[in-house]
Amino acid sequence: MGDAGQNCDHNGNGKGKEGVITHIVLFKYRPHIPWTDLQSHFDSFLQLPQKCLHPDTNKPYMLSMRAGKNQSWESFSKGMTHGFVLEFGSQEDLDYYLTEDPIHLAFSKAAKPFIEDSVVVDIRDSVLFGPSPPKPASKPKTYNGSCHCGAIGWTARLEKAEHVLCHCSTCQKLGGGPYSLNAIISSDDLNILKGSPKVYTYKGASGKSVHCFYCGNCTSHIYHQQEVLEGKVIVRTILLEGGEGWEVGGEIFGEGRLGWV
């Protein structure tokens, strides 16, 4: 991929060099990725300094990127095949890059199948002691949802992009699978934009009713409303855009977990 240094000089926040944080990434690429796929992956990687834009200024904020194949003849690479050294003007900029920047997140998702292993270290020049910054708190975000046939469309605002697995026997029976994927949100944070779900109601363990809202055409369950949980709804998170990439944030009704799950 050559020496594709991109030494842009966009210091978005005007901070001096002392604020600079260097994000060092080593990748071990899988051995059998077709050359053409790798080439287009590297092309989009090297475009990140121009394409990643700061949400406030709408200008590039990555200060620099250096990238290349491992050239070391020593035997300490731990199998890492390529190195990337990125500079950011502040921890906030790096946090934005890692957790929110849609361009970087889309790139990472596409790159995932190519990468077998990685090492990441962030350094500040001359800072040799002291704690690491905390993991940034995830911000609430609104996601689009759709049923299988597309007749119903909605948005759900979630505090965290994660799934809570429910192993209860009702979820198993309604979904025909070992567990369901959920988030409990305020009913104000759910907006049905298109179509109107049908309702199936049953008596929950509390003796109070549970209303299940589903698509009358394709039967996808969109959300449930338990009368015991006033002002809340339980949305099915796997029907939300991007849900297939989220982690598991918790589990409920673990006693119903099937032996092989």
229 backbone dihedrals φ, ψ, rounded to 5°: -100, 80
d(CA 93, CA 63) in angstroms, rounded, equals 10
- Strands, E assignment, the chain: 21-29, 62-69, 82-88, 115-123, 141-146, 153-158, 162-166, 180-186, 190-194, 198-203, 209-214, 221-226, 232-236, 247-252
Residues written for the chain: 261
Site string for Zn ion, 169-188 (x = CB under 5 A): --x-----------------
Between 155 and 217, name the residue whose CB sits nearer to Zn ion.
217
30 backbone dihedrals φ, ψ, rounded to 5°: -65, 140
Q: Which stretch binds Zn ion (CB under 5 A): 52-60, 69-77, 139-147, 239-247?
A: 139-147
From 218, 228, 248, 261, residue interacting with Zn ion (rule: CB under 5 A): 218
Alpha-carbon distance values, 62 to 22, 83, 107, 120, 125 (Å): 10, 17, 15, 17, 17
Min separation Cβ 171 and Zn ion, Å = 3
Between 65 and 147, name the residue whose CB sits nearer to Zn ion.
147
From 80, 147, 222, 240, residue interacting with Zn ion (rule: CB under 5 A): 147
From 65, 94, 166, 183, residue interacting with Zn ion (rule: CB under 5 A): 166
Told to check if 217 binds Zn ion by CB under 5 A, we report yes
Told to check if 149 binds Zn ion by CB under 5 A, we report yes
Told to check if 258 binds Zn ion by CB under 5 A, we report no
Tell me which residues touch Zn ion (CB under 5 A).
147, 149, 151, 166, 168, 171, 215, 217-218
